[in-house]
Amino acid sequence: MSGDERRDGLLVVRCQLGEREAFPELVRAWHGPLWRYVRAMVGSPHLTEDLTQEAWVAVVRGLPRLRQPERFAPWLFTIARRAVTDHLRQAYRASETPMDEAGAVVDDSLGSLLTTMQVEAGLGGLPPPEREVLILFHLQDLPLAACAEVLGVPVGTVKSRLHRARRMLRGVLAERGYGHE
């Protein structure tokens, strides 16, 4: 167990025991990563605020029942994912938009020359499943096993989605002039 998992686990237990100062500490530690994840998934700052708030409300409700406090991060992102997925489902029902799959293949690495901002800009051009796996793995730095837990799929599926998502992202970035071939 890493130091972060230990810290999070202790904060969760303190929350579960009713310590008033613990929840604000947990929010301070995780609001930024949660907000960035939701923002990268939905794009709109206003909608990000709403969905992030919705996730925190679900955390407050579910925290007393969290049986593995050290697994807080995957649990938090699973809650956020559910909020985002519910929103996206409603949005897709309201207006069906076809998604184009970019096909440019370079190599299997994203390339060290791309900045995080360029990558985040390109994420908007990806379908939600591919965007989400890149956000969790590269921007939130979750290990493959935690990504698999959040997404509810085997680790092998996470690896194949990452491969496909990187290829698609390279295509999107190349179209926007960020290619480094």
**pLDDT tens digits for range 42-58:** 888 889 999 999 999 99
pLDDT at 107: 34
Q: Find which of 15-29, 90-104, 160-174 is predicted with most confidence, using mean pLDDT.
A: 15-29
The angle formed by the CA atoms of residues 28, 73 and 14, to the nearest 5 degrees, is: 60
pLDDT at 104: 31
Reading the block at residue 181, the tokens are: 């071939």
pLDDT at 122: 78
Higher pLDDT, residue 101 or 45:
45
How buried is residue 32: exposed, middle or buried, by Cβ count under 10 Å (0-12/13-18/19+)?
Answer: exposed
Q: How is residue 100 annotated by DSSP?
A: P
d(CA 74, CA 27): 15
Per-residue pLDDT for 93 more than 90?
Answer: no
Higher pLDDT, residue 47 or 89:
47
Per-residue pLDDT for 111 more than 80?
Answer: no
pLDDT at 97: 40
What's the mean per-residue pLDDT of the chain?
A: 81
pLDDT at 116: 57
pLDDT at 92: 64
Reading the block at residue 75, the tokens are: 């649990």
The angle formed by the CA atoms of residues 178, 139 and 4, to the nearest 5 degrees, is: 160
Interval 1-20 mean pLDDT? 88
pLDDT at 178: 67
User: Quick one: pLDDT band at residue 29, thresholds 50, 70, 90?
Assistant: very high
User: Quick one: pLDDT band at residue 171, thresholds 50, 70, 90?
Assistant: confident
Higher pLDDT, residue 67 or 169:
67
Interval 17-45 mean pLDDT? 92
